[in-house]
């Protein structure tokens, strides 16, 4: 009994001193504590990672993981009633808004790579995607070479832009490359035949096709053109916050909770239309879960 | 063509389009008009002041922003305002500003330049004798400005100011480039989600058209009524 | 501020591997200028026709001129851009729609045509104001000389009206140049678009937008200087009431 009491009072003491402590080790946590609010950046059409349900509320796999992070922040700061606000971002706005302090973390489909690490940093990898090509069955595009001389669309500010440009130059394809501002606009461009192919991360284009008007009209190329490790995007030079985020994610991996979250979004019907992604966990992601890492090097994930 | 037009989509989307989208658009228009008018009048007074430094600063600001496309200005301020706020408040990290207020600040700072030019020409259109008469009556410069010059200038310029507000109302649609849900953003979201772009874009166009047309007709009528007979 | 400045970024190779970011910005500037010139040419021609129609003494011609102006003036430019780009091909017959969609450089032509119609509505008002500012005697004199109505417009009214409204044309052209940036929403890679793309790939937000700002200012100055010589040449001695623009 006394031990329990002692432990409880110790806990209270710890919690009471933590905010001040947190402020010392993390600018982000200090800011959250000071404002009593944490802002989560999310995408508006990245099914099933981060998108709107029919009440226009952001939901998804990445949002679920971020919800755990938010819980951890609440516990760490001892503020169970911390206000959580959500803010939609795009490929264009996500990095500037994170750097300029508008959002505290970005939960979507952002690839962890070396170039981005110059301005931001990433949590432990929480998904591994690959870039593939989505096209209409009536005009199939199985490889970049098939699109020679035609118009393709991708999402602005993503790793795909770089990949397509590199292939375009290397293979002299003469592509016209459109940059849509989000997945919905990219899918719209393919749907309305403004482009013959949508080139982007496989899991996202599979989601876009599955939720489109006529899913059976589309096909996806079989071989991925790259490896894209996703992570929660965070501000640089804030190890205190980063280790809190990584600790939370690794906790989900160790306890196996991640499997439930994964199944909820990838192998079961999801809102708003009850579509099933049918996207079982890849060997690459299983490897990450067994040995968590936040390394941007794609070769480690192959 | 009309046979394939799905009115049902529009009817279902109405609450979202108007309660979320249009209310954002209208509030933004209102706030930016008020903010823009206040800041614009200040800029106009600065431009016309005898103080060279003030008039050069105001003139430079107005000419710079009037040379830039609104889309570029929107990107600039959206990313820059948190840093500016950090600098102004002396806070240790950039200040978070939500998309609505960020838009209000952007449009206020941008539209102020256009309001400034309207107010400036309004002040300049008044005969010099007005100022002289005010000083002859023993008014200070400030009193002359607030009691004699500005009321007349604003009255003369009211139609132009309201026309500018209608342009501002249309310009707010450009927040689309930031994925903010204004009226057009809401329509685009539904269009892309339900694959009903024809219906949603046409409906958006019709709504903007009706509101702008009614407003501009009202301004025209007002113009006849407020004209000061000289 | 943990922003990582890097002004050398302009000399680093851009995504296509061959050009530097600076070169891509100049390409963007080129597209901006091209879109503005083509768009404004359409606006001048179409705007003149509509402006004349609005002053013509024929009821239905006047009405259709007015409808044109009201429609294109009261719908936001961005919405018009979407209508031309996404909606028009859907309402056309299937083959015509497909032809439009597969058109090379479709974004450029769509943006130019859209800007052309949008600014035509505003040019029409400028031309109309110019025509209305002429004294009634001009028209009467023309017709007394035995000129038909079209001839009166062609040889008497329009030449004078145009010379009166040159300052307003300048500001419309400036505003048309700035409005090309709305083309970003349909994928036109003009100056703002290239700056945005540079920002997205290098994350050097402020450098990219600063460069775009400088280039816009330079473009603006070139237009203002060029138009100033046109204005000087066009000025009519003794005809003081010139119509200045309020464009944006």
A21 domain-assigned: no
Does residue C60 surpass a pLDDT of 80? yes
DSSP letter (8 states) at residue B227: P
Distance from the Cα of B218 to chain A's closest Cα (Å) equals 36
Number of H helices, E strands in chain C: 11, 0
Tell me how close the Cα of C176 comes to any Cα of chain A, in angstroms: 23
User: What's the confidence (pLDDT) of residue C19?
Assistant: 86
According to the model, what pLDDT value does residue A22 have? 45
> Total domain count for chain A?
2
pLDDT at position B93: 72
pLDDT at position A269, please?
94
Interacting residues of C139 by C-beta distance below 8 A, sequence separation 6+: C152, C156, C157
Residue range C120-145: mean pLDDT, rounded: 92
Report the neighbours of A using a cutoff of 3 or more CB pairs below 8 angstroms. B, C
C205: chain B residues, CB-CB within 8 Å: 79
Structure confidence at residue C103 (pLDDT): 82
Residues A123 and A250 in one domain: yes
- The contact set of C with A (CB < 8 A) is 2-4, 15-18, 85-86, 89-90, 98, 101-102, 104-107, 185, 187, 196-197, 199-203, 205
Task: Provide the token pair at A39.
Answer: 């802002």
Give the residue from A167, A179, A282 showing the smallest Cα distance to A227: A282
Query: Which among A208, A226, A244 is the end of a domain?
Result: A226
pLDDT at B52 over 90: yes
List the structure tokens of A225: 């053109």
Considering only CB atoms, B201 lies closest to which of C82, C179, C191, namely: C82
State the Cα–Cα distance between residues A277 and A263, nearest whole angstrom.
10
Within a domain: A8: no
Question: Which tops the pLDDT comparison, B111 or C243?
Answer: B111
Q: Are residue A172 and residue A107 in the same domain, yes or no? A: no
pLDDT at B194 over 80: no
Domain identity same for A31 and A123 = yes
Q: Residue B1: its pLDDT value, please?
A: 43
Full set of structural domains in chain C with CATH: 19-234 (1.10.3720.10)
The answer to whether residues A117 and A233 belong to one domain is: yes
Query: Looking at the domain assignment, is residue A256 inside a domain?
Result: yes
Give the domain range for residue B190. 2-226
What is the rounded average pLDDT of the residues C63-82? 96
Same domain, A34 and A67: yes
CB hemisphere CA count around B111 (13 angstroms): 29
CA distance B87 to A151: 45
**Quick one: C4 exposed, middle or buried, by C-beta within 10 A (0-12, 13-18, 19+)?**
exposed
Distance from the C12 Cα atom to the nearest Cα atom in chain B, whole angstroms: 23
Whether residue A117 is found in the same domain as residue A235 = yes
- Between strands A50-52 and A58-59, the pairing is antiparallel
Residues A244 and A204 in one domain: no
Is B173 in CB contact (< 8 Å) with chain C?
yes
Distance (Å, rounded) from C-alpha B166 to C-alpha B33? Answer: 10
Label the pairing between strands A228-230 and A127-129: antiparallel
Looking at residue C74, what DSSP letter applies?
A: S
Quick one: how far is CA C145 from the chain centroid?
37
Domain-embedded: residue A276: yes
Instruction: Please tell me the distance from the alpha carbon of residue B193 to that of residue B228, in angstroms, as a whole number.
Output: 52
Pairs of residues, one from chain A and one from chain B, whose beta carbons lie less than 8 Å apart: 72
Check A191 against B195: CB less than 8 A apart: yes
Under 8 Å CB pairs connecting chains B and C tally to 104
Are both A147 and A219 inside the same structural domain?
A: yes
**Tens digits of residue pLDDT in C150-177:** 999 999 999 999 999 999 999 999 999 9
For residue range B75-111, list pLDDT tens digits in order: 999 888 888 888 888 877 777 788 889 899 999 999 9
The per-residue pLDDT for B82 is 85
Would the pLDDT of C239 be above 80? no
Higher pLDDT, B142 or B166: B166
User: Are residues A33 and A118 located together in one domain of the fold?
Assistant: yes
What is the value of ipTM here, to two decimals? 0.91
Same domain, A103 and A238: yes
B167, B143 in Cβ contact below 8 A? Answer: no
| Residue B31's CATH number | 1.10.3720.10
Given a contact cutoff of 8 angstroms between Cβ atoms, the answer to whether A207 and A213 are in contact is no
In a domain, A3, yes or no: no
The values of phi and psi at residue A125, to 5°, are -55, 135
More confident residue, A52 or B164: B164
- Determine contact, residues B157/B126, Cβ cutoff 8 Å: no
Pairing of strands A275-276, A37-42: unpaired
The span from the CA of A199 to the CA of A151, in Å, is: 11
Ranges of residues in chain A whose predicted pLDDT is under 50: 1, 10-23
Which string of DSSP letters, residue by residue, matches C81-150?
A: HHIIIIIHHHHS-HHHHHHHHH-TTHHHHHHHHHHHHHHHHHHHHHHHHHHHHS-HHHHHHHHHTT--HH
Q: Test B184 with C76 for CB contact under 8 angstroms.
A: yes
**Inter-residue contact B48 to B120 (CB < 8 Å):** yes
Among the candidates A180, A207, A226, a domain finishes at A226
Identify the CA nearest to C219 among candidates B115, B69, B71.
B69
CA A146 to chain B, closest CA, distance in angstroms equals 27
Assigned domain for A287 exists: yes
Closest-CA residue to B209 (of C74, A195, A53, C30): C74
CA–CA dist C39, C25 (Å, integer): 21
Cα–Cα dist C64/A275, whole Å: 50
* Per-residue pLDDT, A1: 45
Q: Within a domain: residue A6?
A: no
For chain B, what is the domain count? 1
Of A164, A195, A226, which residue is a domain's last? A226
Cα→Cα distances C236→A139, C139, C160, Å? 61, 18, 8
Nearest-CB residue to A118 (from C197, C199, C203): C203
Quote the CA–CA distance of C62 and B127 in Å, as a whole number: 37
Task: For residue C241, name the pLDDT band (cuts at 50, 70, 90).
Answer: low
In a shared domain, residues A160 and A102: no
The residue ranges of DSSP E strands in A137-194, in sequence order, are 151-155, 176-180
Q: Check which CATH number belongs to the domain holding A173 and give it.
A: 3.40.190.10
Interface of B with A (CB under 8 A): 16, 20, 75, 78-80, 82-83, 86, 92-99, 102, 177-181, 189, 191-193, 195, 197
Its domain, for residue A142, covers: 131-226
User: Does residue A241 share a domain with residue A155?
Assistant: no
């Amino acid at each position: 009994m006394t031990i329990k009491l002692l432990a409880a009072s110790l806990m209270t003491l710890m919690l009471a001193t933590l905010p001040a402590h947190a402020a010392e080790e993390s600018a982000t946590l200090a800011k959250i504590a000071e404002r009593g609010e944490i802002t989560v950046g999310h995408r508006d059409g990245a099914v099933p990672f981060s998108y709107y349900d029919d009440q226009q509320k952001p939901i998804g796999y990445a949002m679920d993981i971020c919800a755990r992070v938010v819980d951890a922040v609440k516990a760490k700061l001892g503020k169970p009633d911390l206000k959580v606000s959500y803010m939609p971002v795009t490929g264009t706005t996500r990095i500037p808004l994170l750097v300029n302090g508008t959002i505290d973390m970005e939960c979507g489909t952002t690839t962890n790579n070396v170039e981005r690490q110059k301005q931001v940093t990433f949590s432990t990898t929480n998904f591994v995607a690959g870039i593939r090509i989505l096209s209409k069955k009536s005009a199939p595009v199985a490889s970049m070479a098939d699109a020679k001389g035609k118009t393709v669309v991708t999402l602005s500010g993503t790793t795909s832009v770089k990949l397509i440009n590199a292939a375009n130059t290397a293979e002299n394809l003469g592509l016209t490359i459109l940059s849509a501002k989000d997945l919905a606009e990219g899918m719209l461009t393919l749907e309305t035949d403004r482009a013959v192919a949508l080139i982007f991360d496989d899991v996202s284009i599979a989601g876009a096709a599955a939720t489109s008007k006529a899913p059976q009209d589309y096909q996806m190329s079989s071989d991925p053109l790259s490896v894209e490790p996703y992570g929660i995007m965070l501000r640089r030079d804030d190890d205190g916050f980063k280790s809190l985020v990584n600790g939370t994610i690794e906790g989900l991996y160790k306890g196996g909770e991640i499997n439930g979250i994964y199944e909820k979004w990838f192998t079961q019907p999801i809102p708003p239309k009850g579509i099933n992604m049918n996207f079982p966990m890849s060997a690459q992601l299983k490897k990450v879960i067994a040995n968590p890492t936040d390394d941007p090097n794609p070769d480690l994930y192959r | 063509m009309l046979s394939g037009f799905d009115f049902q989509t529009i009817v279902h989307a109405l609450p979202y389009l108007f309660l979320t989208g249009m209310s954002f658009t209208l509030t933004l228009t209102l706030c930016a008009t008020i903010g823009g008018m206040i800041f614009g009048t200040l800029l106009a007074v600065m431009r016309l002041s005898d103080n060279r430094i003030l008039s050069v600063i105001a003139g430079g600001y107005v000419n710079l922003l009037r040379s830039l496309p609104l889309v570029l200005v929107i990107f600039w301020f959206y990313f820059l305002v948190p840093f500016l706020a950090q600098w102004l408040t002396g806070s240790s990290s950039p200040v978070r500003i939500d998309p609505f207020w960020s838009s209000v600040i952007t449009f206020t700072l941008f539209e102020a330049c256009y309001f400034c030019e309207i107010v400036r020409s309004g002040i300049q259109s008044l005969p010099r004798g007005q100022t002289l008469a005010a000083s002859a009556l023993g008014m200070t410069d400030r009193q002359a400005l607030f009691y004699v010059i500005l009321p007349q200038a604003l009255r003369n310029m009211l139609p132009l100011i309201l026309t500018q507000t209608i342009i501002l109302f249309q310009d707010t649609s450009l927040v689309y480039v930031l994925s903010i849900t204004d009226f057009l953003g809401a329509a685009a979201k539904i269009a892309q989600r339900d694959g009903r772009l024809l219906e949603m874009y046409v409906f958006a166009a019709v709504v903007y058209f009706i509101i702008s047309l009614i407003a501009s007709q009202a301004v025209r009528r007002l113009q006849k009524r407020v004209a000061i007979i000289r | 501020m943990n922003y990582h400045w890097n002004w050398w970024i302009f000399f680093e190779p851009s995504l296509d591997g061959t050009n530097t970011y600076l070169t891509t910005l100049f390409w963007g500037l080129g597209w901006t200028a091209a879109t503005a010139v083509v768009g404004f040419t359409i606006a001048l021609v179409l705007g003149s026709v509509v402006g004349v129609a609005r002053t013509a003494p024929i009821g239905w011609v006047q009405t259709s001129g007015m409808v044109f102006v009201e429609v294109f003036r009261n719908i936001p430019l961005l919405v018009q851009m979407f209508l031309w780009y996404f909606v028009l091909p859907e309402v056309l017959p299937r083959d015509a729609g497909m032809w439009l969609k597969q058109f090379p450089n479709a974004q450029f032509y769509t943006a130019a045509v859209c800007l052309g119609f949008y600014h035509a509505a505003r040019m029409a008002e400028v031309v109309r104001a110019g025509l209305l500012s002429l004294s009634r005697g001009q028209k009467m004199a023309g017709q007394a000389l035995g000129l038909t109505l079209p001839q009166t417009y062609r040889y008497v009214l329009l030449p004078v009206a145009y010379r009166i409204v040159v300052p307003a044309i300048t500001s419309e052209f400036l505003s048309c140049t700035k409005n090309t940036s709305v083309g970003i929403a349909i994928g036109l890679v003009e100056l703002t678009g290239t700056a945005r793309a540079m920002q997205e790939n290098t994350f050097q937000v402020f450098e990219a937008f600063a460069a775009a700002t400088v280039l816009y200012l330079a473009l603006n100055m070139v237009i203002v200087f060029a138009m100033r010589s046109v204005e000087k040449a066009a000025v009519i001695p003794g005809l003081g009431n010139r119509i200045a623009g309020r464009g944006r």
